[in-house]
Amino acid sequence: MITSQYQYSNRPVAEEKTDTEPVIRIRQLEKAFGDRVVLNKVNLDLHPRENLVILGRSGTGKSVLIKCIVGLIKPDAGEINVLGYDVPTLSTDELNALRLQVGFSFQGSALYDSMSVRENLEFPLKRNRGLFNTQELNKLVTAALEDVGLEKSIDQMPSELSGGMKKRLGIARTLILKPKIMLYDEPTAGLDPITAGEINELINEVRNKYHTASIIITHDISAARQTGDRIVALVNGKNKIEGTFDQLKDAHDADIEAFFKY
């Protein structure tokens, strides 16, 4: 188990799952902000080592969905089961422990802009693992940066990095805690097609190397094609259609066809 060397003894540890059992199971999830219903009885399964793409237009509740998964937003109703834990019922400590096994890559990268690249990566290690040994920190930081091809930027500040580099660093910071599940919020948003392609490749490499299961939130059809084993189209807060890229392409549905048209 990847996380075993770091696991806190008093924190919940995910039980070993079989390959067929979903690592995330969402049932009848509902969320509204005032009168605006964002998620309307969403059902979803994420299987081990699977890249699941959630495709949808802006404002369809994609980001709200993954924020519910990590407990950043409380759902109004429904069940969210992550690695065997019922997320809405977890205490703060239990939720923090579970979050160590779920990596979250933000749309805007959310890098700590007062810290250098090195410090961005050291921060979760120091805070979560209580790791202060310089040599060990160096080893882990260098390895994480090599994974995303940023080893030469170790002493730069986030403001000195390009958009693609920031995305890579965001992913590296998440990977350094060796999560079992990765959640990517619009990983290619605002990037040129070539850099976007590189980020998509990186997402696949992460899955292959670390055997993570991933949810990739996107409205970018080429990102969906490149990364998705399975695609769920979210329309008006509901999962409307589900299948492989080719199955969606052949679907006779106006909402889905629109993605392939532009």
Partner 1 sequence: MKKFLITLADIARFTGKSLRHSFTPPFEFREIVRQCFIIGYQSFFLIGFTSFIAGIVFTRQSRPSLASFGAESWLPSLVSQAVVRSLGPLITGLICAGKLGSNIGAELGSMKVSEQIDAMEVSGTRPFSYLVVTRIVATTMMLPVLVVYADVIALFGSYLTVNMINSSSMELFFNEVATSVTYLDVFSSLIKSAIFGFAIGLVGSYAGYHTEGGTTGVGRAANTAVVVSMLCIFIIDLISLQFINLFRNT
Neighbours of 126 (CB within 10 A): 12
Q: Rule CB under 8 A: which of 156-175 touch partner 1?
A: 173-174
Stretch that binds partner 1, among 80-88, 106-114, 198-206, 232-240 (CB under 8 A): 106-114
- State which of residues 177, 182, 199, 217 lies at the interface with partner 1 (CB under 8 A): 177
42 beta partners: 29
Q: Which is nearer to partner 1, 12 or 164 (CB)?
A: 12
Work out which of 26, 38, 52, 100 binds partner 1, going by CB under 8 A.
Answer: 100
Name every residue whose Cβ is closer than 8 Å to that of residue 18 and which is 6 or more positions away in sequence.
none
Question: Between the CA of residue 155 and those of 17, 31, 36, 140, 249, what are the distances in Å?
Answer: 39, 42, 45, 15, 44
Q: Does 134 bind partner 1 (CB under 8 A)?
A: no
Does 124 engage in binding with partner 1 (CB under 8 A)? yes
Q: What is the closest distance, in whole angstroms, from the C-beta atom of residue 124 to partner 1 in the complex?
A: 5
210 binds partner 1 (CB under 8 A): no
Instruction: Tell me the per-residue interface mask from 38 to 77 with partner 1, x by CB under 8 A, - otherwise.
Output: -----------------------------x--x-x-----
Q: Work out whether strand 51-55 and strand 230-235 pair parallel, antiparallel, or are unpaired.
A: parallel
CB of 227 to partner 1, least distance (A): 21
Nearer to partner 1, 217 or 248 (CB): 217
The interface region with partner 1, picked from 109-117, 186-194, 232-240, 254-262 by CB under 8 A, is 109-117
Residue with tokens 């009848």: 28
Residue 102 makes contact with partner 1 by CB under 8 A? yes
Min separation Cβ 252 and partner 1, Å: 38
Q: Could you say which of 32, 110, 154, 241 contacts partner 1 (CB under 8 A)? A: 110
Question: Terminus-to-terminus CA distance in the chain, angstroms?
Answer: 43
Q: Does 104 bind partner 1 (CB under 8 A)?
A: yes
Q: Which of 43, 96, 156, 195 binds partner 1 (CB under 8 A)?
A: 96
CB of 243 to partner 1, least distance (A): 29
CB of 14 to partner 1, least distance (A): 14
| Binding stretches for partner 1 (CB under 8 A) | 67, 70, 72, 95-97, 99-100, 102, 104, 106-108, 110-113, 123-124, 127-128, 173-174, 177
